[in-house]
Structure 1
Amino acid sequence: MGQEFSHEGVNSEHTSYDQYEQEEEKYEEVDVDYMDEDDTSVEPMFDYHGFDEGYNIDSLEDIGMIEFWNIRDEDVCHFHFSDVDIAFEFYNRYARTRGFSARKNRSRKSRAGALKLKNFVCHREGFRLQNNYGIGNLKRKPTPETRCGCSAMMEIRVDAPSGRWFISYFSDEHNHPLLDPRLTGLLPGHRFMSEADIGHMVNMKKGGISVGQMYRALANQAGGYEYLSFTQRDMYNKIAKQRRQLPGDAYAALKYLEDQATNDPFLYFNHHMDADGTLRNLFWCDGLSRADYSLFGDVLAFDATYKRNKYMCPLVVFSGVNHHNQTIIFAAALICDEEKDTYRWLLQQLKVAMNGKAPVSVITDGDLSMKFAIEKEFPNAHHRLCAWHLIRNATSNIGKPQFTSMFKKCMLGDYEIDVFRQKWFEMVEGFGVENKNWVLDMYKKRHSWATAHIRGKFFAGFRTTSRCEGLNSIIAKYVNSRYNLVEFIQHFNRCVDHIRWKEVQADLASVNGRPSL
């Protein structure tokens, strides 16, 4: 009843929720005896023909009214219960006040399949399986051996006429030291997360708070770690269980975007799957991003360098600048590769989402697949290469700091075309690099990077994709490599909200007062 960890019939020791759960199911299938209706092979210690109404236990509320600290062992056997789960919760609450925890053990059913008998034991009942001692090359440090054959037990049987469960055998004789209350609560059988705790955890997780920070915050709220009924490991297990309950990562991501579209009718998303149904590409943008593109989409920065996600897939971000010269995001996509066809598909989705509006200028880092896709999908857009990448390439290809310095002046200098040509050939001849393939290739592409050749083209102040690199550093604060697709999209959208809030603050600064001259 409300316990996160269950230990029914586990003879090997584990620490995670699912290991306990799997062992419990396995034990239920195997360790069940069958008995005839008149089977008396196991004589009960107690056998009731009538029940005292004062000892009825029918709900958790009834259990909560019992003062277990003051109850005597001989009084325990007077209680009777409405079902097996209530009986187990009763025994586990009793166990906590005595310094141990309860575990479900053997069951007996009639030939008709009806449950007739159940016993609950101390968590130290039984012994560790012998085959667990022979496992070599363990990756984890083996857990301490806690099973010591303790014989403490409470057995319950069903009274056929009334359908109530009574205690037929009870023993509180332990062969091991009992724990003090400070430690008893740390036993797996007494650890659980309430619905309120889970709700707090989910809300903080959506806010990007780490599990360690969540646990410290909840401990502070409760008044100390000793007042929490769960450990940090239990939180990790709960999060992992919630992830496994999703019908599928790709399906869940598409379902999440569909749900978002009900609140934002202008949200656009599309995906591409291969022949075997594997999601390969996912593109999305919300209504506000589409509105921003209609106003500020003349200049488009196209970057695919960020790969911090669970599947190491490139995150493509389409960005630009607004009226405050701030970076804004027009759309985003997760792609499986950086091939020409993939980029063409992305730009096609961008055109559909933005009602066919093509950018005037596009800035990239020089990737050839990007260049090909831009020429095919936006043939009239002017393609500019990132100045920062070109300077870095000059350093790596020529290896002379003086050449890099002069190359930078040729690239950014506001020269007439004739002056640019003169300075270029003087530089090339002066350093003796006129036959370098990179130098020849750069001169052929001068219309994509030299200020002398792109004068009059509108780039909204863009000269490099450094805005994209800066944007990646912001994204890194919101997402990490452990996130699945749904979590990645959720936290990426939080990053977009943060960027938009900066615009609101800039709007306030622009209207609240006048600039100092």
Structure 2
Amino acid sequence: MSTENMIRAFMTDVNSSCANVTPTPYSPEVVATSEIHGVPHCSEELKPFVGMKFENLEQGLDFYNAYAKACGFSPRLDSSKIIQGVTTHKSCVCNKEGNRQHGGQKRRRAITRVGCPAKIKFKRLLFGEYEVYEFIEVHSHAMVTPATMIHLKSFRKLNLVHKKMIMDNSRVNQGPVKTFRMFKEYVRGYKNVGASLEDFKNFSRDVKKYIKEYDAEMLIEGFMQKRARCPSFYFDFDVDDNKRLTKVFWADPIAIKNYALFGDSVSFDTTFDFNEYRMVFCPFTGVDNHKKCVTFAAGLIMRENEESFTWLFDNFMKAMGGCYPTTLITDQCLGIKAGVKNVFSGNTTHRFCMWHIMKKLPDKVGSTIYKDTDFLKEISSIVWNEDIEPTEFESS
């Protein structure tokens, strides 16, 4: 049997199946279970009708979606009939079709199913076309207004512009909520956004979930691309036995130039909060001639121990061309102290940060003495006095 005859025999079986399908005509019994709200108003050229034909099923579904949007309701795909991998019958209903099941619900939910009878059904013809063989346009609920059309799930869709803006804003630590508000300003109103806030949040969540296992590779690849564009960019990293990123250090050319100008005194602070990867942010900072903070370098470490700080300080000296700072100010940490001794010993004066010392003062002298305003005033006048000499400080 030739291929053409096989197709004809197959479509004969399909058409015989279609002949046995009896369309459900519109009658009062069809919608007796719910209150009839009426037929939605729509332009006649957008309204489907029984006998209407389409080249393929996708065209038919797209036409019904356009009709639903013009009327103000959301369609939902329903049952299908598939023979030998070919869809011979397909139905599409209103998203409020059916009734909600009340059993086994753990939390309260809004009622979204009201038994709406509106539907459309397609069947496949001999040469691949699809024909509408049943269409009910009566709904048992009110249609939405154009202003609230954005809340219908079928017409909410993130396009390339939405996704690019979410991705670009995430690079500068702008979340999906701020991105949604910014987009609203660009298009002059929430009704013109084309998607909801939940869509923005869901896309941002999906992106984070997708890159979760590749974020370390993306970070190192980004640093390599920076160094390829700018050979003066310095970075280094280290991984553990399980190939997990444990240490990262970087310094760009501007930071290195800042160190050459203002690097006589360096502050190294690890008191910042952990990030979501439980890594500690470790910036190297200083002060310029205008009493403003400048950055020399930065790092991320997994553990605050001697080995990690020695690795950081060693890379810092490599990035700065082996030029030791005159003074290094840090927190009171045994790991930092050991790392400073391993790298800066004999070349740099190590001092503890006065802010950290004063922060721990209540634990040392007791809260009763610390709350004495005269004591606090007197010790502050000594500690924060830039002109006081060491002998005078000790005698005070």
Quickly name the TM-score band, shorter chain normalised: 0.7 to 0.9
* Runs of 5+ consecutive residues of structure 1 not aligned to the other structure: 1-35, 47-66, 428-517
Partner SS state of residue 151, structure 2: coil
Q: 2:234 aligned with 1:262, yes or no?
A: no
Please tell me whether the aligned partners of residues 53 and 131 of structure 2 are also in contact (alpha carbons under 8 angstroms). yes
Give CA deviations for 1:326-380 in whole Å, capped at 9, x if unaligned: 2111111122221222111211222232233332210112222111100111112
Cα distance, 1:231 vs. partner?
1.6
Q: Distance in 2 between matches of 1:314 and 1:324?
A: 29
CA 1:160 to 1:271, structure 2 compared with 1: closer, same or farther past 3 Å? farther
The one of 369, 373, 396 equivalent to 2:363 is 396
Give CA deviations for 1:306-341 in whole Å, capped at 9, x if unaligned: 116323432111111234342111111122221222
Cα distance, 1:302 vs. partner?
0.5
2:52 is aligned with what amino acid? H
Question: Structure 2 matches for 1:314-393, cutoff 5 A?
Answer: 314-379=280-345, 380-393=347-360
Q: Distance in 1 between matches of 2:335 and 2:113?
A: 62
Q: Distance in 1 between matches of 2:334 and 2:46?
A: 81
Q: Distance in 2 between matches of 1:190 and 1:118?
A: 20
Cα distance, 1:205 vs. partner?
4.3
Q: Distance in 1 between matches of 2:154 and 2:383?
A: 73
The one of 65, 76, 80 equivalent to 1:92 is 65
1:80 is aligned with what amino acid? F
Q: Distance in 2 between matches of 1:410 and 1:295?
A: 28
Question: Structure 2 matches for 1:105-124, cutoff 5 A?
Answer: 105-111=78-84, 113-124=85-96
With normalisation by structure 1, the TM-score equals 0.61
Give CA deviations for 1:148-200 in whole Å, capped at 9, x if unaligned: 34332222334443x33333332223343433444344211111233233334
Q: Distance in 1 between matches of 2:207 and 2:315?
A: 32
Q: Distance in 2 between matches of 1:292 and 1:415?
A: 30
Determine the structure 1 residue equivalent to 2:247.
281
Partner SS state of residue 245, structure 1: helix
Determine the structure 2 residue equivalent to 1:226.
191
Please tell me whether the aligned partners of residues 68 and 93 of structure 1 are also in contact (alpha carbons under 8 angstroms). no
Q: Distance in 1 between matches of 2:50 and 2:320?
A: 73
Cα distance, 1:123 vs. partner?
0.9
Determine the structure 1 residue equivalent to 2:182.
217
* Runs of 5+ consecutive residues of structure 2 not aligned to the other structure: 1-9, 24-40
Structure with the larger RCO, 1 or 2 (CA within 8 Å, 6+ apart) = 1
The one of 104, 113, 116 equivalent to 1:134 is 104
Please tell me whether the aligned partners of residues 48 and 64 of structure 2 are also in contact (alpha carbons under 8 angstroms). no
Q: Percent identity?
A: 25
With normalisation by structure 2, the TM-score equals 0.78
Cα distance, 1:276 vs. partner?
2.1
Q: Distance in 2 between matches of 1:194 and 1:165?
A: 29
2:157 is aligned with what amino acid? F
Q: 2:206 aligned with 1:241, yes or no?
A: yes
Q: 2:78 aligned with 1:78, yes or no?
A: no
Cα distance, 1:41 vs. partner?
3.4
Question: Structure 2 matches for 1:409-448, cutoff 5 A?
Answer: 409=382, 414-415=388-389, 417=391, 423=395
Determine the structure 2 residue equivalent to 1:26.
none
2:312 is aligned with what amino acid? L
Q: Distance in 2 between matches of 1:180 and 1:415?
A: 77
| CA RMSD, 1 decimal | 3.1
